[in-house]
Amino acid sequence: MKKLWAFFLSLLLAFSLAGCGGSSSVGDNSYSASTSTGTLGMFSLVSPTLGATLEEVPSFSWSASENAAYYTLEIASSETFITNNDAYVYYKHDFIAETSYTISASLSQKNVTYYWKVTAHSGSKTSVANNVFHFFLKSVDKEEVAFPLGEASDWSIHEAGSPLSLSIDNSNFFENNQESLCLKFELEDTKPIGWIVVTKTVELDTYGTDSLYLRFFYSGDDATAFIRLRDNDGEFWRHKIQLASNSKQICIMPFSEFTQDTQLVTVNNHVFDYFHIKYLEIVFEQTWGDGACLVSEIKTIKKSNYSSLFIKNLNFKNYDTSLWKWENSYNFGTDISADGSSYTLHYDQDANALNTVGMALAVR
C-alpha cells in the first residue's frame, strides 16, 4: 500500500512539471528540448544553400547549437528520409563534433533532389535543426568510366559454384598494356556440367555512357558466358557473350540490350538504372569441362565513339586477301562474289588432308 501511494505522488508531480515548464518551451521553439544540463539551442543549416544546384557532393555546414555534444547528419534522396530501400539513397553520419562535415561516400544517384538535416545531441536529448534543406545534384557526363580489375583477391568466387582459380595475368595478353583477370576452371574431374560466378564491387557512376566494353578470351570446352551487372537499385541485368573459342574478342554490350534477372534476386521497377553500377559479375553456365578465360579493360563507353569497329554491310572486296590467314596453312581460296557480299570456301581434300577439326579464317 505504501508503494502505491508513492507511485501516485510521483505521477502527480510529473504532470505538474510538464504543465508549467513544457508549455513555454513549445511556445518558444517546438524543436528544442530542455535538459537538466541545459537547453539545446536552436540552430540552422547553412550550406549547401536551400535549392542549390551542384555537380559535386558538397561539404555540409550548420550553425552551432548551444550545449550540443555532437551532431548527426542525414542525407536522403527521399523527402521522408526512407531507409533500407535500394531505390533511394540514405546516408547518415553520427558523432560529428564540429559544425561542418564532408562525406567520404559518393551519393550514387544524380539528377535528383537530395534532402538533408542535422540533429544536435546532448546526453539523451536531441534537437533537430529548424529546417530541412535540399539541393539538386546534377550528373557529370563522361566519355568512359574504367572499372579497375584490382587484385585477384578483390574478386569473390561464388562458393556454391564449380572449382575455380583466379589470378592477374601480366603478360599483356591483349596487347593493350593492361592486366587481365584470368579465370581457370577444371570441371572434367568434378562434375559433368558446372557454373561459375565471380563478383567485383564497382560502385561507380557511369553517367553519359551507354554500353559496357571489355576484352575477352576463352579457350577450353563448351561453355556459356554472361556479364551480369547490379544496378543502382540492386537489380541484376545480364548480357550474353558470344564465345569465339581461342579468339581475342572486343565485346561491346549496349545497356539497352541487357535483360533483367528476376529469379531469386531483387526486382524493384524493371528499369535498368545503369547510371550507377554497384558490382559486376562474370558468369559461366553450362561449362562442360576445363576452361581458361581472360578479361581485360572493363569500362563503360559511349558506343558511338567506337563506331569504327562496326560495319553495316560486310564487303569482302574491302579486304586485302593477301593478308588472309588460315589456321595450319589450310587454303580455301579467295572466291569472292562480284558484289563482294559473299565468299565461298572451297574444300580441297588433297590440299587440306589434315583438316579433320574444321577451319578458321582471320580477316584483318
Q: Which residues bind other proteins (CB under 8 A)?
A: 169, 171, 173, 182, 184-186, 188-189, 217, 219-221, 245-246, 248, 289-292, 294, 328, 357-358
Find the shortest distance in angstroms from Cβ 158 to other proteins.
Answer: 19
User: What amino acid is encoded at 92 in this protein?
Assistant: K
Nearest to other proteins of 68, 182 (CB atom): 182
In the chain, the N- to C-terminal Cα span, in Å, equals 100
**Closest Cα partner for 111 from 229, 208, 2?**
208
Q: Which residue has the cell 564491387?
A: 201
**Closest Cα partner for 271 from 327, 218, 225, 232?**
232
Find the shortest distance in angstroms from Cβ 360 to other proteins.
Answer: 9
CA distances from 227 to 66, 136, 180, 214, 348 (A): 54, 33, 16, 10, 40
Nearest to other proteins of 183, 212 (CB atom): 183
**Closest Cα partner for 362 from 311, 338, 328?**
328
Nearest to other proteins of 216, 258 (CB atom): 216
Find the shortest distance in angstroms from Cβ 216 to other proteins.
Answer: 12
Query: What gap in Å lies between CA 317 and CA 207, rounded to an integer?
Result: 40
Nearest to other proteins of 35, 246 (CB atom): 246
Max CA pair span of the chain: 116
Find the shortest distance in angstroms from Cβ 238 to other proteins.
Answer: 23
Per the structure block, which three cell numbers stand in for 92? 547518415
Nearest to other proteins of 178, 266 (CB atom): 178
Nearest to other proteins of 167, 256 (CB atom): 167
Per the structure block, which three cell numbers stand in for 215? 576484352
C-alpha 122, offset from chain centre: 38
Find the shortest distance in angstroms from Cβ 267 to other proteins.
Answer: 35
Find the shortest distance in angstroms from Cβ 327 to other proteins.
Answer: 8
